[in-house]
């Protein structure tokens, strides 16, 4: 994968709106209550489509993703590998990190660039990583799909065999992407959900749920989703038993 582990430099620009400290503290309290005891440490590959079509909701989505996943990393139970693609075949994978400050700086520094999707490379990276050391989950956030869906399905099937669920969050309403994203999620034993610029709270709940799953498994996710929004219940309902 080109540019693997290349440090990212934050791009100057207007800072996006931040979640309140009360929201982050509440999430940490919930995650602490649900996180498993003992030596279990979750491993999560977090992959982003950073092509130009995602720019309209980019800043807000970036801030939510950075704050909520990285709040989970402060528990000391979640290690995250950030990967993204953009531009003319640019595809990057950063080193594993459990440092919220480190990953927040890198995630919020990513900027969009025009290009085609490279989901196949992301799925191949996930297979490669889980062969080295088992992944607990993959998160992919994207809005379109411009590749061979059969090739993506074959790779998703391999992840399913390895027991690595993919949580696919679709930005927008592209029908071609939706069909493929749902298929990839289903083949891995994961789940699909949609979000847009108006559903920041929904995305926050969904991402928190995946962070809880990566550290505590299916029971922790089921406990976390009780009394929460319908989107999170639909997410847990899609996962294979």
pLDDT tens, N- to C-terminus, the chain (241 residues): 544 444 333 333 333 334 444 544 554 454 445 444 444 578 889 999 999 998 887 877 777 776 665 555 555 578 889 999 999 999 999 999 877 677 778 887 888 999 999 999 999 999 999 999 999 999 999 999 999 999 999 999 999 999 999 999 898 899 999 999 999 999 999 989 887 666 666 777 777 778 778 877 888 788 877 777 777 777 778 875 4
How many whole angstroms separate alpha carbon 162 and alpha carbon 125? 13
| CA–CA gap between residue 208 and residue 202 (Å, rounded) | 10
Q: Going edge to edge, which strands form the sheet with 191-195?
A: 90-93, 78-86, 42-49, 137-142, 166-171, 191-195
Contacts (Cβ under 8 Å, ≥6 apart) of 72: 27, 28, 31, 78, 208, 211, 212, 215
* Residue 66 C-alpha from the chain's centroid: 10
Query: Could you give all domains of the chain from N- to C-terminal order, each with its CATH number?
Result: 40-238 (3.40.50.410)
Return the structure tokens found at 95.
Answer: 């080193």
CB atoms within 10 A of CB 207: 24
Give residue 85's pLDDT: 96
CA distance 198 to 121: 30
Q: Which 8-state DSSP code applies to residue 137? A: E
Residue 43 contacts residue 82 (beta carbons within 8 Å) = no
Tokens of 223: 């406990």
pTM of the full structure? 0.78
Q: Which helix (H) or strand (E) holds 132?
A: helix 119-132
pLDDT score of 29:
52
What is the predicted pLDDT for the residue at 12? 33
């Amino acid at each position: 994968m080109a540019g693997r582990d290349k440090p990212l430099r934050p791009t100057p620009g207007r800072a996006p709106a931040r979640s309140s400290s009360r929201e982050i503290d509440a999430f940490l309290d919930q995650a602490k209550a649900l996180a498993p005891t003992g030596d279990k440490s979750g491993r999560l590959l977090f992959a982003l489509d950073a092509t130009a079509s995602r720019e309209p909701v980019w800043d807000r989505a970036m801030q939510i993703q950075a704050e909520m996943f990285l709040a989970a990393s402060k528990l000391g139970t979640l290690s995250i590998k950030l990967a993204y693609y953009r531009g003319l075949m640019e595809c990057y994978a950063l080193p594993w990190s459990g440092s919220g400050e480190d990953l927040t700086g890198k995630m919020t520094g990513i900027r969009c660039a025009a290009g085609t999707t490279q989901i196949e490379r992301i799925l191949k990276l996930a297979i490669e990583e889980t062969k080295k050391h088992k992944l607990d989950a993959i998160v992919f956030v994207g809005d379109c799909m411009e590749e061979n869906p059969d090739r993506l399905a074959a790779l998703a099937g391999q992840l399913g065999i390895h027991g690595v669920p993919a949580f696919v969050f679709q930005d927008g309403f592209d029908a071609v992407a939706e069909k493929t994203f749902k298929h990839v999620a289903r083949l891995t034993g994961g789940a699909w959900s949609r979000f847009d610029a108006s559903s920041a709270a929904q995305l926050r709940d969904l991402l928190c749920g995946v962070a809880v799953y990566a550290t505590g498994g299916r029971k922790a996710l089921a406990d976390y989703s009780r009394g929460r929004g319908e989107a999170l219940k639909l997410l847990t309902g899609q996962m294979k038993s």
